[in-house]
Amino acid sequence: MSLQDETFTLGVEEEFQIVNPDTYELSPDADQLVPEAQKLLGEGVQNEMMLSQVEVATPVCRTLDEVRAELTRMRSGLIDIAGRMGRQIAAAGTHPFSPWQEQLITPRERYQQLVRQQQRMVRQQVIFGCHVHVGLKDRELGIPLVNRTRLWLSPLLALAANSPFWASEDTQYSSYRTPLWWATPMSGPPPAFESKVDYDELVQALVATKSLEDVTRIYWDIRLPERFPTIEFRVMDVCMTLNEAVMAAGLVRALVRTCYEQALRNEPFPLAHTELLSAAHWRAARYGLDSDLIDVYTERLVPATQLIEQFLAFLRPALEAEGDWKHVSYQVNELLRRGNGAARQREVYRRTGQLKDVVEYIVAETIPHP
């Protein structure tokens, strides 16, 4: 299959917090909110693990303009429905102060089964992510794409880091959602695979040993979903603003397209150890854009700004081919200038000393603006 035969469609999933505007705490209203939101927005609105969570998923999009339009529709509609119920919607990877012990698990068998199996690890997963799917008709290149794209996940994580507070404390992480998520089995950076057979054999062994109930319980930062002909990226916190979410989708698609072209040309690349990738992700989660990050290709620490610039340069031909360079590069540079979501949350707390003000700020930033 040639590059011309592949259409890199997009789908974005965002997980949001439901907030009580009187207390700014999480509010367990998903079972009331989701049915009403579905009437307006369709089946793309779904429950998630916690009753204080709601997820939206765009339909298949072909351009970033379509992604923007759909995310605007979903965010605006959800905020409107929540407002009619006396609630608000917030986009951050963790809630700054609502105790995880007080959150209610959604009463669906899938989630109840996870609780029975994983116990406290699941109950602590009061976290909110952004998942980007890129359409992939050429399934034979799925494993080569995982092997190549996994080298560039830490810049995505650093840009999207948006969860500095947990249990009323500054965790000193930019993405505290990341270490919380790593408690989940089969999470974090995926290993490199020799072939699809190698991948299938591992999955079969995990299912046979009841390490997984089924293949949908693989939660690596990149995975190949069984139900959809896509490659899915799960490494990012939910983005606070619409512009950041569109940027994330554009970066992910450009990464897939770039690595797809490399795979077609059989260009060499390093098969980095998963331990090195985990270290790179840990630094991105810990420091975001505020310190050195790991260049996986050179196995050296480099300033975060330098790694992000290398990432953009790597993706530029694909971004230009899709017509996305202007918007995506502008938004990336804005984040380097203003700070990612974590830095902006901390700035509000530094000014006011009130975590409620941080939640109020997140709620305001979640609203789509032209």
User: Which tens digit of pLDDT belongs to each residue from 26-64?
Assistant: 999 999 999 999 999 999 999 999 999 999 999 999 999
DSSP for 310-322, written as a single string: HHHHHHHHHHHHT
Residues 6+ apart with CB under 8 A from 112: 105
Q: Is the pLDDT reported for residue 5 higher than 70? A: no
Residues 6+ apart with CB under 8 A from 320: none
SS3 content of the chain, % helix, strand, coil (to 5): 50, 15, 35
Rounded to two decimals, the pTM is 0.96
Instruction: Output the CA torsion sign for 215, 222, 169, 355.
Output: negative
pLDDT at position 210:
86
Percent of the chain with pLDDT over 70: 98
Closest C-alpha among 216, 275, 258 to residue 8: 258
pLDDT at position 227:
83
Rg (C-alpha) for the chain, rounded Å, is: 19
Identify residue 232 by its one-letter amino acid code: E
Domains of the chain in start order, with CATH, are 6-366 (3.30.590.20)
Query: At 214, is the secondary structure helix, strand, or coil?
Result: coil
Q: How many angstroms from the chain centroid is the CA of residue 214?
A: 22
The residues pairing with 165 across neighbouring beta strands, listed in sequence order, are 170
For the record, the structure tokens of 192 come out as: 């490199």
Residue located via tokens 């605006």? 76
With contact defined as beta carbons under 8 Å apart, do 56 and 13 qualify? yes
Side-chain-side CA neighbours of residue 240 (13 Å): 26
* Cα separation, 187 vs 53, whole angstroms: 20
For the record, the structure tokens of 60 come out as: 């298949």
The DSSP letter of residue 47 is: -
User: Which tens digit of pLDDT belongs to each residue from 158-215?
Assistant: 999 999 999 999 999 999 999 999 988 889 999 999 988 898 899 889 989 988 877 7
Residues 6+ apart with CB under 8 A from 333: none
- Average pLDDT on 271-278 reads 95
Q: Give the residue, 185 or 23, on which the prediction is more confident.
A: 23
* Cα separation, 161 vs 248, whole angstroms: 11
For the record, the structure tokens of 173 come out as: 């992480």
With contact defined as beta carbons under 8 Å apart, do 104 and 51 qualify? yes
